[in-house]
Structure 1
Amino acid sequence: MSSPAFNLRQYGRASSVDRHAFAQWVVPVRGELAFELEGRGARLDLLQGAFVAPMAGHAQTASDDDRFLIVDCPAEMFDDDTLECLQRQPVLALPARVRSMAQRLGTVVGEQVEATFVQAELPGLLQAFSLAGSATRLQAVCARIEANPGQAWPVERIAGEVGVSGSRLHALFRQAFGLSPQAWLSGSRLRWARGRLADSDVPIAAIAQHAGYSEQSALTRALRREWGMTPADYRRRFRHPQ
């Protein structure tokens, strides 16, 4: 699989052993599941879920009126240390924010959860079960910033979400992206603003505010520095046809 997917499923009372090349989380929304993973048994309910590593054999038997959030992820989304840790301890006590997420998505009609929900909810799931300072957690916080660049993102907040000190955060960003955290944030904000300029008629001042710029002139300076044009020039050149 090339991208993550969220699905809502009912399992029923019988299942054969399954294996797949992608990683998977099983998060109960309603009912419980007798779950067997590589010969180890567990019972999953609203407080306990499971992680299925790529190619791990698993089978399950559900109670009546069950529903489960199944999150499929490409194995490439995990750094080796996080994947190894989850393989060793696949039965997971579910944090409150993960349980809340499952209950929100559990109200979706049908089986497939829309891509917009996946984009919004996946970073929190990755962060909850990845190692502090890992590449997986770094990618999770970057996805959060991409989705909400206009929020306040001081170094202290980013470091807290990655689970490291401020100085360690700078080292991780330099190693991964060749940029400081604030330089990466600036790039994310400008990218978001360019997207809104190209695909909407929202006033430039409002775009600047929602992207996290103190005022429209700050967006103008950033865009002129990186692209050699003003926001109005960018919109005229790159505006998508409606």
Structure 2
Amino acid sequence: MPTTARHLRRYLRPTGLECHDYAQWVLPIRGDLQLEVGGYGGRVDLLQGAFVAPRETHDMEAQGDNCCLIIDCHAGVLDDDTLEHLYRQRWLALPKGIRQQLQRIQADGTDNDPLPQLLHYFGRDGSGARLQALCMSIAKSPGSEWSVARMAAEVGVSGSRLHALFAHEFALSPQAWVSAARLRWAKQQLVSGQAPISAIAQRAGYSEQSALSRALRRESGLTPRQWREAGSSFGQDTLPGTA
């Protein structure tokens, strides 16, 4: 009989390379993590989760306090079409309904299975298909000029309708989503490479380095340099394993 398993996990140090025969959903509840899947790096946080296909090599590293809901889907839980669709999508723009469900699971330990809602939203013919494609385009190229007019054209709606869709699905404006994607990308680049901070800010779409500094300080209380230094040292003196 096809089975799933759900785990609340904190990551205290890099996991090292992992590979398993089952699919896995990575859904952050608190904090954020650096995730590499199939050779592609990215970050997961309260607005973005990830899907790991069966037999995909992956590893994770946290920076600070964190908690994730991990859902393991063993053979037969997901059909081949759904697996292929999620494999191509990989990064998941989390709507507010799923985010709220995750917070309830953390707050009171509710044994509520989010998988039906995840499949309803992220499946091949899911309700979130229109906005997911746009959000993934933004995630791939956050430094591009993402005007409301351009975003609306990609979805095929008016600017006012786009605002309504984002408010309903994410409880955010389109511009706020772009800002979050830019900061997520910049945080990833700060800890995974040695490019100058000014270059990272420019490629992320910030007008100047100080704009990136202000955004990162608002979220984490750290400057870009401090974030980079914390990322390079995190996990060196921590206990192994997860809780």
TM-score normalised by structure 1 residue count = 0.49
Bigger Rg over Cα? 1
Larger RCO of the pair (alpha carbons < 8 Å, separation 6+): 2
TM-score normalised by structure 2 residue count = 0.49
